[in-house]
Amino acid sequence: MLRHSLACLKGDTIKAILLVDIAVGVVGVSYGSLAMSWGFPLWVPLALSTLVLAGASEFMFIGIIVSGGNPLAAAAAGLLVNARHIPFGVAVRDLVGKRATGLLGCHIMNDESVVFGMSQPTAEQRKAAYWLCGCGVAILWPLGVLLGSGVGKLLPSPETIGLDAVFPAILLALVIPAFKKRTTLIRALSGAVISLASVPFTPAGVPVLLSLFGLLARKK
């Protein structure tokens, strides 16, 4: 059944989804290694990566805890970062399924699965892309954490090997072709400027949300 569902997707789309899922796994290695090097027991990042399944909020949570912050404040900050999931849920309500399937469909909702799902031309392709990407993230993110836990025990400063840069680099490579459209380029640059300008004044994660105002830019 899954094979039949994926048959509606183009080969380039499947390849792009797999590349992004692999990149997510690589970032999971960075996350797991950082958590272990900061003194967290393995069950903490593993539980977060399996149950929360939201990389930005997970990085923020352990970062706040290791800096001496209150766990409740760390959880609240994670919820703030994930506030974007509210409009996401509205956008993909037809893709997540119903009843028990809907619970899993909501759990695998993330930036990557939403983008791939909503960018497809037909309803069948949107649902197939959403589930392929979301399930890939749900599998490779915790696996990356497990692998990273071993790395964290070996390296005193695992972030120095640059694993956290792989994911944004692959995403950038995927979106560069879209910059051929002038309106897309203007909106992307506007969002980047807004995000960078807000970094010194807002909590981590909020600049990404503010960058959405770049979509208001219009081609002159």
| pLDDT (tens place) for every residue of the chain, 220 residues total | 455 467 788 888 899 999 999 988 988 888 888 888 788 899 999 999 999 888 878 887 887 788 777 788 778 877 877 877 888 888 888 888 888 888 899 999 988 898 898 888 888 889 999 999 999 999 999 999 999 888 766 665 655 666 556 556 666 776 777 778 888 888 888 888 988 898 888 765 567 667 778 877 765 5
Q: How far apart are CA 99 and CA 54, in angstroms?
A: 22
- Whether the model clears a pTM of 0.85, i.e. scores above it, the answer is no
Which residue, 83, 41, 38, is CA-closest to 63?
38
* Alpha carbon distance, N-terminus to C-terminus of the chain: 47
Q: Identify residue 51 by its one-letter amino acid code.
A: L
